[in-house]
Structure 1
């Protein structure tokens, strides 16, 4: 079972002069996508008992996600208020003392034996105490379980850039796969092109660094020749949840190929990586073809 650990929240999206609440959060979206692809997946993040918490639970249950490691909380759900400034989305977070924000190191349980891999990332890595809790989860388990990380860097959410860079520099060497967008790489290593920046990340210790770039496709940097998979041509409605869905496709492919493990990743081949990038791209193409973070179900995937 793949364990996804990280934020869920409610995006308050402008609509006809008011706001429409939508379930979201990068790791939450990946969890939903993996469940819809038929993967055995569990989620770790506090869920509020408020009405927004119930909104978050419904899609998780619908996708068959295991919620045994999700504590319920009387604290409120994090809200991300989206406003438009000349067409650009601007976010305001209501997060102080929220259910997720207050996840602490002491709340991280011993993982059951049926957990076979960890996926983490998103803005859950940024503030404390939750950032320290996710860091602790990785530190406690990375020696026996493969760890896949997508920091999904959101500069507007980072109040202490130095502390966040320090956290990433501690976490990345403990990860087996790190996925970064072109924007993430530009933030991490200003002035370097994406390939140079990805190689810098690879030098920190991961076995594979994945770079996504929308229409430019996806690239994998590892010990062999760079592996590339083109983006799938489609009509784009919006890109919400695209990267998160890509992550789920990669995880699903690696698990189905039997290489989502410490031994499997140590001996991975270029064709196996290519297959993972391709499934990720196929899943993401469906997500961008419809509004919002609405990842595909397995029966919607090509060749099913």
Structure 2
């Protein structure tokens, strides 16, 4: 009898758009190209933290697509679909205000590419942003999540990361978001996302409603005001990590990457770990959310969506303890 082969690594699969951010310079006439897109940033951040990561995305075989592929290769992200001949890679024009906050203008055509089954060892599937809102790809993404939820093998996570120019009217966007929340185990959103969806409804009320829809953990980021995390067993309110802000591009995505990585470190990802996810204590939520906040703090301290690697994140934790 042959001995069983090695178990595949516990892998996180991210599903969603990749694009190139054209970031305007101070004169608003020159632009610098950076790989971007919220799902791409999350996958890149996970791989930078040493987490085995695959990305199911849609790329062209043009120069911008090559820029994106090289960026992902450097971090060790596994692409699950090849570039499409003749397709133009999506673009976003990014303008920064004096405080470093970003606004976006998109040129994007999103659909889910043809693919093989998700890799062996997949313990979590994450999506969000444009991929979950823009048709025809949004319906395909929702069907993928429904299939994963039915199989029950992977933790499903979702970040709405609302883009006003693409989300449609708030009522439609709210209904679409709640459909995806109901399919998810973990949901992360910003307070800006919640205002776009629910107006001035308190974030604690929205988080409680999303738990009632079926999520086991809801985390709401509040920029410089910290974050709020609501689980089934505990809730915590945490301050922001100290940071010198250069720009905020990719901060929420870095938070999401470190949130998922921290849940993996706490052994809360995968079909067999749903009870552990639901039982997270206040102490565990504090560890998880604070680590995610430190990742965001490193990212806002430098230009572009450049999340920390594991050594940088550990160094920031040590520096914070010494402060």
Shared fold by TM > 0.5?
yes
Counterpart in the other structure of 2:7: none
Counterpart in the other structure of 1:6: 16
Counterpart in the other structure of 1:70: 81
Counterpart in the other structure of 1:220: 229
Counterpart secondary structure, 2:287: helix
- The runs of 5 or more residues in structure 2 that have no matched partner are 1-10, 319-323
Do the aligned residues in 1 keep the contact of 2:123 with 2:271 (CA within 8 Å)? Answer: no
Counterpart in the other structure of 2:275: 266
Counterpart in the other structure of 2:64: 52
C-alpha distance 242-117 of structure 1, shift in aligned 2 (>3 A):
same
Do the aligned residues in 2 keep the contact of 1:108 with 1:137 (CA within 8 Å)? Answer: no
Deviations 1:154-213 (A, max 9, x none): 112223544433322222111001111111112222231121122222221101111111
Do the aligned residues in 2 keep the contact of 1:108 with 1:133 (CA within 8 Å)? Answer: no
Counterpart in the other structure of 2:307: 295
The Cα shift of 1:123 comes to: 1.1
Deviations 1:78-103 (A, max 9, x none): 111235789985533222xx4xx132
Distance between the aligned counterparts of 1:301 and 1:82, measured in 2? Answer: 26
C-alpha distance 135-53 of structure 1, shift in aligned 2 (>3 A):
same
Distance between the aligned counterparts of 1:290 and 1:91, measured in 2? Answer: 19
Counterpart in the other structure of 1:201: 210
The Cα shift of 1:265 comes to: 3.3
Distance between the aligned counterparts of 2:178 and 2:49, measured in 1? Answer: 32
The Cα shift of 1:293 comes to: 0.6
TM-score, L = length of structure 1: 0.91
Counterpart secondary structure, 1:116: strand
Do the aligned residues in 2 keep the contact of 1:173 with 1:205 (CA within 8 Å)? Answer: yes
Distance between the aligned counterparts of 1:102 and 1:252, measured in 2? Answer: 27
The Cα shift of 1:11 comes to: 1.3
2:156 counterpart (137, 147, 163): 147
Superposed CA RMSD = 2.1
Counterpart in the other structure of 2:123: 116
- 1:93 matched to 2:106? The reply is yes
Counterpart in the other structure of 2:3: none
Select between 45-54 and 223-232 the one with higher mean Cα deviation: 223-232
Counterpart secondary structure, 2:298: helix
Do the aligned residues in 2 keep the contact of 1:148 with 1:177 (CA within 8 Å)? Answer: yes
TM-score, L = length of structure 2: 0.86
Deviations 1:228-282 (A, max 9, x none): 3321112111111111001111111111221112342323321332221121111
Do the aligned residues in 2 keep the contact of 1:207 with 1:266 (CA within 8 Å)? Answer: no
Matches within 5 A, 1:275-286: 275-286=287-298
C-alpha distance 90-295 of structure 1, shift in aligned 2 (>3 A):
closer
Counterpart secondary structure, 2:54: strand
